[in-house]
Amino acid sequence: MSKEPCLICGKPVEYEPEYCCPGIDCTCYGQPVNPCICSEECEGAVFDYIGLDFEDRLIKAGIEKYSEPGDEFEQRMKAAEDFMDSLR
């Protein structure tokens, strides 16, 4: 188990990614089958607002972004945003 930021709000959550397969010729695209999400609210934001910008999803879902200083965290958030974009 390691702490990873929630894909939506960035709050650290205990997360162990589970993969379906390497993503070749599969609809999973090699992404974890259990997205790193901290709560039902955030999970809703992932699936309810597909097609909107990342920031718009947070606003629509009424979720405040968890903030924490640090370059590493920023990079992880960037990776999370890339993941969200891949869901469009």
| Positions in the binding site for Zn ion (CB under 5 A) | 6, 8-9, 11, 20-21, 26, 28, 38, 42
Smallest separation, CB 30 to Zn ion (Å): 7
| Helix-strand-coil split of the chain, %, nearest 5 | 40, 10, 50
Helix (H) or strand (E) segment spanning residue 2: strand 2-5
Residue 37 CA to residue 66 CA, distance in Å, equals 13
Minimum Å distance from CB 87 to Zn ion? 15
- Which C-beta is closer to Zn ion: that of 32 or that of 53? 32
**Least gap, CB of 51 to Zn ion (angstroms):** 20
Pick the closer one to Zn ion by CB: 27 or 51: 27
Nearer to Zn ion, 9 or 84 (CB): 9
Instruction: For residues 78 and 48, give the distance between their C-alpha atoms in angstroms, rounded to a whole number.
Output: 21
